[in-house]
Amino acid sequence: MSHEQLVRKVISFIEFVDAEYGTRDPEKIAAMENIFCLVWKLPRCVQGFSFAYDGDKYIVINEKVSEKGRQFVLLHELYHLLNSHTNEYNRLIFMTNAFIKTTREELEADYFAFICMNYDDLENINPLAIENEIAIFKRRHLKI
Ligand SMILES: [Zn+2]
């Protein structure tokens, strides 16, 4: 999948979210989906993670993450949960470590979170610039 296809895929999911939930507020979407959001004391290398257990879904956020960072992590983890991503053991568990290069699913979740927060107008996105914008955002708001 090319970079531009990836961005297009994420944008079409945001269009779905806008239509389906009528909001991009991750806490409201989580409430509608019965996803539990918890704030925990976690090591600095983990901004947050999500998992499903016994039919329930959870998002856990590091208490040290700023308000804006928290919104990003919630949206990032929501993307995994709403898309039922699984890891190599086929279990639903995801971790946000904002500063490690990872898989396409991690990139998609980052793009989803960033675009939701920063682009009301989905026509205005420059796929070539966005990777750099996300890196700047993460350094500013997710470094803990
Ligand atoms: Zn992730």
Separation of alpha carbons 2 and 63, rounded Å: 35
Separation of alpha carbons 73 and 8, rounded Å: 21
Element (H, E) at 3: helix 3-21
Q: pLDDT value at position 89?
A: 46
Q: How far is the CA of 88 from the centre of ligand 1 (A)?
A: 14
Separation of alpha carbons 88 and 75, rounded Å: 22
> What rounded mean pLDDT belongs to the chain?
87
Yes or no: domain 3-141 corresponds to CATH 1.10.3470: no
Q: How far is the CA of 125 from the centre of ligand 1 (A)?
A: 22
Q: Please, which residues have CB within 8 angstroms of residue 13's CB and are 6 or more apart in sequence?
A: 79, 83, 112
Separation of alpha carbons 109 and 106, rounded Å: 5
pLDDT of 92 > 80? The answer is no
Specify the pTM: 0.89
107-131, pLDDT tens digit by residue? 899 999 999 999 999 998 998 899 9
CB 94 within 8 A of CB 49: yes
Task: Give the domain ranges of the chain.
Answer: 3-141
Q: How far is the CA of 121 from the centre of ligand 1 (A)?
A: 24
Q: pLDDT value at position 90?
A: 46
Q: How far is the CA of 77 from the centre of ligand 1 (A)?
A: 6
